[in-house]
Chains A and B, each alone.
Chain A
Amino acid sequence: MVIAIDGLSLGAIYALIALGYTMVYGIAKMLNFAHGDVIMVGAYMIYTLCTLTWTTGSLPIWAGALIAFVVSIVVCTLLGMVNEKVAYKPLRGASPLAALITAIGVSYLLQGIAQLIWGAEQRSISILDRLGTVRVGTVAIRWSSIITVVCGAILMIGLTLFVKKTRTGRAMLAVSEDKGAAQMMGINVNKIVSVTFAIGSGLATFAALFYLPTTAISPTLGSMPGIKAFAAAVIGGIGSIPGAVVGGILLGVVEVVCNSFEATASYTTAIEFALLIIILLVRPIGLLGKKRRVKV
């Protein structure tokens, strides 16, 4: 039971990050390696702002945390958009590899700046884990896990609805199908790409909030979950929103289950990545990826 909830909650975190990868890949056809580092920035922002509001203000703790979180989302969203404008937009139309390398550069840059501002030492802060645990029958489940799963589900459903029902969402689908045609239909591709980066970064901030109870904050905080979420996106079929959710949850559950057995605990990472490779071998396009026929 605990494992199931923990797995789901970690899965939800991965899914939230994977959504960022998958959406950016769908729209801009590039792997945004700096995405993991947006989580890191988000975590630091939440940390800094929380400490600030808690020490100075007379606000109650939850209000301070809420303000901190909202401001963090705004900052990260802006960061994502600025990233896109400065580093990726000039390279649109160039080799995707070039954009990939720039993304790596941005990732190093963010890590370097974070280290310069906050230093290399690890920090931690408790926000969601202040809520403690709830007893269901004989087991104690952390509230933070429950909130993560519930919020994650709401966000994912919200995103799906957004893409399916709103004008912007449908425009995003159109751009991901065929950028040129979408442009000719009067869709502002630049705006759509910006929106995509913004949404991805916003989701990453949520992931940061949910990730905080189980991890310490450091400049390299984002890299591992970043890579794993990337793997999750690929498992689900990169470019597919439900795929990212499925992949994220699968990877999260596998990780928690592996960690819970002593024999496999130290091989968790290897098992997760082996799973990725096996899935790719069986289905080279990911679980829910769309098959594309090569036209000769």
Chain B
Amino acid sequence: MTMEGTKKKNLFAKGGWKNYITYIVIIAFLAIMIILNLTVGLGRGDKSTLARIAFSCILAVSLNLVVGFLGELSLGHAGFMCVGAYLGCFVANTLRDATALPELVVVIIAMIIAGIVAAIMGFVIGVPALRLRGDYLAIATLAFGEIVRCIFKNLKIFGGAKGMSTKIYNNNTLFILAFIVLLIVVFCCQNLINSKHGRAVIAIRDNEIAAKAMGINVTFYKLLIFIVAAFFAGIAGVLYGSTIGTIRQETFSFNYSIEILVMVVLGGMGSINGSLVAATIITYLNILLQNQLSGSLAPVKNIVYALILIVIVIFSNAPALKNFRESINPKAILARISKKKPDASVTRSDEAKWDRIPTKINIDEVLSADTRSGYADDPVPPGEDVVPMEATKDELYRPLDRKEEK
């Protein structure tokens, strides 16, 4: 095979094409919107909706790194965004006053600085993350988010309780900028996850004890993921500031962190594409419901939102509904149509092997295998009766379930 041939195969190797699909869909979506904007002309609200969708996607993808891939529950993602929004926009305001740089450059510098500051905060919160696990970490991140909010509320240079005013970026190009940033973020996250480092992170999630025993530096990777996620959240904060005009600390409350978490969970933990879809739908739904249901009907939005959430989570997670879920799983249906038996090959080949081997196990031997074998001339090794625990493919991993704890 020629060099080129190998390379092509690499690019489109198994699973690879999925990543490219993501980019293609995002670019196509953006292109359609740009064309629509140039021809028909999108409304002001539509364009800011697009920008909102883009930064929601960034937030969801970056939180998915922590929750989905690392398997640690973080309830303070809005806190990182808050830090980024305030500091980034502060830098942008200062730059605008002091220099005559073009707006785009100002925003990019602001984003980088916001990202770095948020990343430092990620490091700060990541250090306790190494000592805490599961629910304790969740509450620590929640506390972090509230602390950040409380501090910004009281700092006069950031506008205090009234909020800090920012310059709204040109409405016609903001959403393009936001989507380009989103593309970069998705690119970085997917590459990170699909590399040896991503493998190490997923290994930590799947089995931290085994990961340690394999020499994976758990401390380093937990910190790394916290820092990267915080970096992107900080960038999203600047985009938010450029969309909204005034940054208020109330926005970044615990509820906002939860909303991002909901996007991640509904999209599927550990699925970047899922996060993108869920973030888009939820953001759009939110804005739609907000616009449609005003006045005394406003609470209906919360109710609809809550009901959707509960129903989806119960449907997709309840153990009792497992068979039903499998019966409507598109993959399973496809497999049934093409008359393939899904994933049975593995166990099947093993069954054949077991049949080939003539073993005579009588119950006494099995019961006493642990103590007796090896002394009598016993042809049956112990542990024969151990039934393998066959976990199924679609069983959700359980980040908080420390079953091994005794």
Residue-wise, chain B 286-305 has the 8 Å CB interface mask toward A (1 for contact) of: 00000000001011111101
CB-CB < 8 A to B306: which residues of A? 105-109, 112
Query: Please, how many angstroms separate the alpha-carbon atoms of A21 and B313 in the complex?
Result: 21
List residues of chain A with CB within 8 A of the CB of B144: 273, 277
Which stretch from A51-59, A148-156, A287-295 is at the chain B interface?
Answer: A287-295
A95 on the interface (CB 8 Å rule)?
yes
Residues of B215-258 whose CB lies within 8 A of A: 254-255, 258
Across-interface contacts of B138 in A (CB, < 8 A): 31
Do residues A294 and B405 form an inter-chain contact, with CB atoms below 8 A?
yes
State whether B154 touches A267 (Cβ < 8 A).
yes
> Does A158 have its Cβ within 8 Å of any Cβ on chain B?
no
Pair A102/B309 contact, Cβ less than 8 Å: yes
Interface residues of B in 140-178 (CB under 8 A from A): 140, 142-144, 146-147, 149-151, 153-154
Which residues 119-174 in A have Cβ within 8 Å of B in the complex?
Answer: 119-120
A111 on the interface (CB 8 Å rule)? Answer: yes
How many residues of chain B get a CB closer than 8 Å to chain A's CBs?
59
In the complex, A187 has a CB within 8 A of chain B? no
A-B contacts, CB under 8 A, total: 172
Q: Which residues from A are CB-within-8-Å of B309?
A: 101-102, 104-105, 108
- Which of chain B's residues have a CB closer than 8 A to the CB of A223? 254-255
Q: Are A115 and B401 in contact (CB under 8 A)?
A: no
Given A115-B298, A119-B296, are A87 and B310 also a contact pair (CB < 8 Å)?
Answer: yes
B94 to chain A minimum Cβ distance, whole angstroms, is 25
Asked if B399 and A104 sit within 8 Å, CB to CB, the answer is no
Q: B404, A295: Cβ atoms under 8 Å?
A: yes
**Residue from B73, B146, B396 within 8 A of A273 (CB atoms):** B146
Q: Which of B309-323 contact A (CB under 8 A)?
A: 309-310, 313-314, 316-321
| A94 engages B254 (CB within 8 Å) | no
Does A113 make an interface contact (CB < 8 A)?
yes
**Of residues 262 to 281 in A, which have CB atoms within 8 Å of B's CB atoms?**
266-270, 273-274, 276-277, 280-281
Q: Are A280 and B136 in contact (CB-based, < 8 A)?
A: yes
Segment touching A, from B127-135, B188-196, B343-351: B127-135
Q: A90-B320, A105-B313, A106-B306 are in contact. Are A280 and B128 (CB under 8 A)?
A: yes
Which of A100, A219, A267 is close to B150, meaning CB atoms less than 8 Å apart? Answer: A267
Please tell me if the beta carbons of B401 and A96 are within 8 angstroms of each other in the complex.
Answer: yes
A102-B404 contact, Cβ under 8 Å, with A109-B303, A231-B139, A269-B147: no
- Point out the residues of chain B lying under 8 angstroms from A186, CB to CB: none
Q: Is B262 an interface residue (CB 8 A)?
A: yes
C-alpha spacing A243/B319, complex, angstroms: 33
Which residue of chain A has the shortest Cβ distance to B132 in the bound complex?
A284
A293-B406 contact in complex given A91-B318, A96-B398, C-beta closer than 8 Å: yes
**How far is B377's CA from A65's CA once the two chains are assembled, in angstroms?**
82
Query: Does B307 make an interface contact (CB < 8 A)?
Result: yes
CB-based contact B302/A112 at 8 Å: yes
Q: A270 to B146, Cβ gap below 8 A?
A: yes
Q: How many Å lie between the Cα of A108 and that of B399 in the bound state?
A: 24
B24 adjacent to chain A (CB < 8 Å)? no
Residues of B within 8 A of A280 (CB): 128, 131-132, 136, 139-140
Cβ of A267 and Cβ of B151 under 8 Å apart?
Answer: yes
Interface presence of A76 (CB below 8 A) = no
> Which residue on chain A has the smallest CB distance to residue B396?
A95
Number of interface residues of A (CB under 8 A): 56
- Check A90 against B143 for contact (C-beta < 8 Å): no
Asked whether any CB of chain B lies closer than 8 Å to the CB of A46, the reply is no
Does B401 contact A95, Cβ atoms closer than 8 Å? Answer: yes
Partner of A277 from the list B143, B150, B318, B401 (CB cut-off 8 Å) is B143
| Contact partners of A281 in chain B: CB under 8 A | 128, 131
The reply on B285 being an interface residue by CB < 8 A is no
Q: How far is the CB of A255 from chain B (nearest CB, A)?
A: 13
B406, A292: Cβ atoms closer than 8 Å: yes
Cβ of B59 to closest chain A Cβ, rounded Å: 17
- The answer to whether A87 and B296 have CB atoms under 8 Å apart is no
A105 contact set on B, CB distance < 8 A? 306-307, 309-310, 313
Residues B302 and A234 in contact, CB atoms below 8 Å apart: no
Contact of B313 among A98, A113, A230 (CB under 8 A): A98
Within 8 A of B (CB), among A238-261: 238
Chain A nearest CB from B389 CB (Å) reads 15
Is there contact, CB below 8 Å, between B147 and A95? no
B150: A residues at CB distance < 8 A? 266-270, 273
Q: Are A231 and B305 in contact (CB under 8 A)?
A: no
A273 touching B254, Cβ below 8 Å:
no
Residues of A within 8 A of B401 (CB): 29, 95-96
CB distance from B321 to the nearest CB of A (A): 8
**Is A82 an interface residue when CB atoms closer than 8 A count as contact?**
no
Residue among B135, B139, B261, B401 with max Cβ neighbours from chain A (10 Å): B139
Known contacts: A112-B306, A270-B146, A292-B406. The answer to whether A91 contacts B128 by CB under 8 A is: no
- 8 example contacts (A-B, Cβ-Cβ < 8 A) are as follows A102-B309, A112-B306, A231-B143, A266-B150, A269-B149, A280-B128, A280-B131, A281-B131
Q: Which residues of B contact A (CB under 8 A)?
A: 67, 73, 128, 131-133, 135-136, 138-140, 142-144, 146-147, 149-151, 153-154, 209, 254-255, 258, 261-262, 265, 269, 296, 298-303, 305-307, 309-310, 313-314, 316-321, 396-402, 404-406
Closest 8 CB pairs of A and B: A112-B302, A115-B299, A273-B143, A109-B306, A108-B306, A112-B303, A105-B309, A98-B317
Other than A231-B143, A238-B136, give 13 A-B pairs with Cβ distance below 8 A: A87-B310, A91-B314, A91-B318, A97-B73, A101-B261, A102-B310, A102-B314, A227-B146, A230-B139, A266-B154, A273-B143, A280-B139, A293-B406
